[in-house]
Amino acid sequence: MNIDMIRAAAKRLEGHALRTPLLNSGFLDEISGRRVWIKPECLQHTGSFKFRGAYSALSALDPETRAKGVIAFSSGNHAQGVALAAKMHGTSAVIVMPSDAPQLKIRNTQAYGGEVILYDRDTESRDEIGERLGAERGLTLIKPFDEPQVIAGQGTCGLEIATDANALGIREADVIVCCGGGGLTAGIALALEADAPTLRARTAEPQHFDDVARSLLAGKIQRNSATSGSICDAIVTPQPGDLTWPVINRLCGAGLVVSDDEALGAMAQAFLRLKLVAEPGGAVALAAALFRRDQIQGDDVIVVISGGNVDPAMFTRAVERV
């Protein structure tokens, strides 16, 4: 993993991924006690940053391999990203999804042309299912985060943050990233190290699924005891990845942790002040910026809203707090 791979991914993504802006609202600045800058990856194709990594990985395959099709396992956002990226490359995608994934994500993955296979998150291993199916059908596995070209794709989000922060004159700031397996965080951290070294990536996670925050404290990989039960389904993973962890450990500040309730509160603020639809797991970084102000330094903070694929009932639950 290095910055050259991220720059190469940015070239491949040009004209295919959306170049998202940085948004701001004075109302959020007041809550956070500093300028809050929002990178709205919920506006990205398929409604999350995952499209970047998926498109990067698909576009990096040699054409013959790609033509045989790909396979991915995902709770929903990586699934949609891979399905659409496969469609855009004229190839097929099998997507292995947990049976408790939001209905919206399952339906959308199918609508993007993905063949969805459901599994039980508590009793089956998605890795085993993925590897077996991949071998049987000659498919290439596109891992959700522990894959260099996926991390490189997510890193393009960091290149854009660095460019815009430099243009805005933002010097010292935390860049808070919603963190599951750590692909987006690691990619952004590497991009910032190269292009905006005074900005520092930090992870945000939901309570009880704070494996990265605890790993950073311990200095070595820690696991979550539970693997389901959070409303932040998009970022619930057992532990940081083997490739993402060393990058996160080397470059990131202390991890931030928020409650499900605070994630819903951040969704309400995104609705009210930014006119953005965020999903719970996509709102934890904003929640950290708004509700952990004492754990953040500096006059500016940059926040990635990483996804917006939320069922209407969950969204209604959030906006009723306004």
Pair 187, 243: CB distance under 8 Å? no
* C-alpha–C-alpha distance, residues 277 and 97, integer Å: 23
- Number of chain residues interacting with its own copies (CB under 8 A): 31
Query: Is the Cβ of residue 103 or residue 225 nearer to its own copies in the bound state?
Result: 103
Between 286 and 315, how does the x/- string for binding to its own copies read (CB under 8 A)? ----------------------x---x--x
Q: Which residues contact 106 (CB under 8 A, 6 or more apart)?
A: 76, 97, 116, 118
- 220 is a site residue for its own copies (CB under 8 A): no
H or E stretch at 84: helix 77-88
Query: Is the Cβ of residue 15 or residue 219 nearer to its own copies in the bound state?
Result: 15
Stretch touching its own copies by CB under 8 A, among 55-63, 155-163, 203-211, 276-284: 276-284
Residue 97 C-beta: closest distance to its own copies, Å: 19
Sheet holding 70-73, edge to edge: 115-119, 93-98, 70-73, 140-141
- Beta bridge partner(s), residue 116: 95
Pair 296, 173: CB distance under 8 Å? no
Residue 81 C-beta: closest distance to its own copies, Å: 14
Stretch touching its own copies by CB under 8 A, among 42-50, 119-127, 188-196, 208-216: 42-50
Pair 233, 102: CB distance under 8 Å? yes
* C-alpha–C-alpha distance, residues 285 and 185, integer Å: 11
Query: Is the Cβ of residue 86 or residue 274 nearer to its own copies in the bound state?
Result: 274
State which of positions 71-90 bind its own copies (CB under 8 A): 84
Residues within the interface to its own copies (CB under 8 A): 18-21, 23, 25-27, 40, 42-43, 45, 47, 84, 104, 111-112, 271-272, 274-278, 308, 312, 315-316, 319-320, 322
